[in-house]
Amino acid sequence: MRDVPERAIFTVIRHDGQWAVEHQGEYFGHSVDKEVAKAHANKRARAAQDAGRPCQVRVHGEQGYYGIPA
């Protein structure tokens, strides 16, 4: 059986009245702009991925897909 490393999860979420990134209980990348916090999460996730660790960025309140209006 293959030993698969655990995926690093970076979650963009509201924290202390701002948007922030949570990873393993640590909050960083605080901003009033959600897009800035998402950029922080993607930067950290890219660094983790480049180091060989699988990762995922989640955004609280977003599903990851969007419906097309009829």
d(CA 9, CA 20): 13
In a domain, 55, yes or no: yes
**Are the beta carbons of 54 and 9 closer than 8 angstroms?**
no
In a domain, 44, yes or no: yes
Total tally of structural domains belonging to the chain: 1
Cα 9 from chain centroid? 6
In a domain, 68, yes or no: no
In a domain, 65, yes or no: no
pLDDT at 40: 96
In SS3 terms, 9-51 reads as EEEEEEECCEEEEEECCEEEEEECCHHHHHHHHHHHHHHHHHC
Domain of 50 in residue numbering reads as 8-59
Could you read off the pLDDT tens digit of each residue along the chain, which spans 70 residues? 666 668 999 999 999 999 999 999 999 999 999 999 999 999 999 999 999 999 999 998 776 655 545 4
d(CA 11, CA 32): 16
